[in-house]
Structure 1
Amino acid sequence: MGFTHYCSKGKKGQFRVKRKSSRKKVTAKLKNYKDWLKAHRTMDIREIMARLNRSLKGYFNYYCITDNIQEVANFLDNIKRLLFKWMNRRSQRKSFSWDKFNLFLSKYPLPRPRIKVNIYDLKKDINFIL
């Protein structure tokens, strides 16, 4: 499924089952992004960013649920590091410093993760229907 379930406490101290992205799935997805960026680093930068944005939106739509937003934000940070690494390897000279890279990201922004599904609101909807 792609999630790890673990026991925790809610804001009011009551027992709650929380979910986070499976480490195995995240690692595999990061490897796929790395391989893709490595293979396509010579493409036009606008095409790379458009493809990356589409892919990240799909990832966020699936994984941005209650209690998982921090894991998804960490995933996005790893993607930014990979992008920085492979965009700097487009030629023999470094293309970016981190300051320049942040300016680049302001021109071609990556999507931000937001909670798409609050699973506890779904529980209320199901009880209402029953």
Structure 2
Amino acid sequence: MRYADDWVAGFQFRGDAERFERAVAERLGQFGLKLHPDKTRLIEFGRFARDNRGRRGQGKPQTFDFLGFTHCCGKTRKGKFMVLRLTSAKRLRAKLQAVKLELMRRMHRPIKEQGQYLRAVVAGHGRYFGVPDNGARLSVFRIQVGRLWHRTLCRRSQTHHLPWRRMHRLIAHWLPTPSICHPYPNQRLIVTTRGRSRMR
């Protein structure tokens, strides 16, 4: 999988992965480039990683970040392997910091204007990160945005404290409740033909 200069390559055997890593390093070297040492890792990942590492006493499989998501070895409710995608902690912190700074800039703007801005932020965050099993982190983002907004409104009115009872009404009105808007990856590959048969 590749997006611009970020990519992830998967292999069944470790030897293939190591040969590929050497080949890429050599190829980039021909153009005076090299792999970033802090962003290039060779990890054991996939449906057998948990059992294999467990037998070696190495603990849980490692995770990796790609396009704002932390990818983990997870399980379905039936115990089958699945790739669990969660909003990366680094991306979450960065976005909340950006919202905090923007709210400070808009501190003295009308509540309606602030609410419209935050509604767009929370909705956009949900449209990107609204993948299956990421609902908890979507909720965390919405809650944290609400807290930042409350802190901003209290700061601009130094003589009055905004009660949480009123703040909850503002949050309910302006900040959309997160929802999962993307299907599971395997559902994206289902094609329905005119004959109503399906191909994968």
Normalising by structure 1, what TM-score?
0.89
Match of 2:87 among 21, 38, 43: 21
Aligned length: 129
Tell me the secondary structure at the aligned position of residue 89 of structure 1: helix
Percent of residue pairs identical: 29
- Which structure's relative contact order is higher, taking Cα pairs within 8 Å and 6+ residues apart? 1
The one-letter code matched in structure 1 to 2:165 is D
Q: Is the contact made by 2:126 and 2:179 (CA closer than 8 Å) also made in structure 1?
A: yes
Match of 1:4 among 70, 77, 80: 70
1:19 deviates by: 0.5
Q: CA deviation at 1:120?
A: 4.0
Pair 1:118 & 2:183 matched: yes
C-alpha displacement of 1:54: 1.3
TM-score (ref. length: structure 2): 0.60
Amino acid at match of 2:169: L
Instruction: Give, as a single letter, the amino acid of the residue that structure 2 aligns with 1:18.
Output: L
Tell me the residue number matched to 2:150.
84
Question: Does structure 1 retain, via aligned residues, the 8 Å contact 2:130–2:182?
Answer: yes
1:57 Cα offset (Å): 1.1
Aligned to 2:40: none
Distance of 2:170 and 2:80 partners within structure 1: 45
* Native 8 Å contact 2:146 2:171 kept in 1: no
Distance 1:71 1:118 in 2: 17
Partner amino acid, structure 2, of 1:54: A
Per-residue CA distance 1:58-98 (angstroms, 9 max, x = gap): 11100011111111101111111111111111122234111
Where does 1:1-130 land on structure 2 (aligned, <5 Å)?
Answer: 1-106=67-172, 108-120=173-185, 122-125=187-190, 128-130=198-200
Aligned-residue CA RMSD in angstroms? 1.9
Larger Rg: 2
For residues 58 and 84 of structure 1, the distance between their equivalents in structure 2, rounded to whole angstroms, comes to: 21
Distance 2:170 2:189 in 1: 43
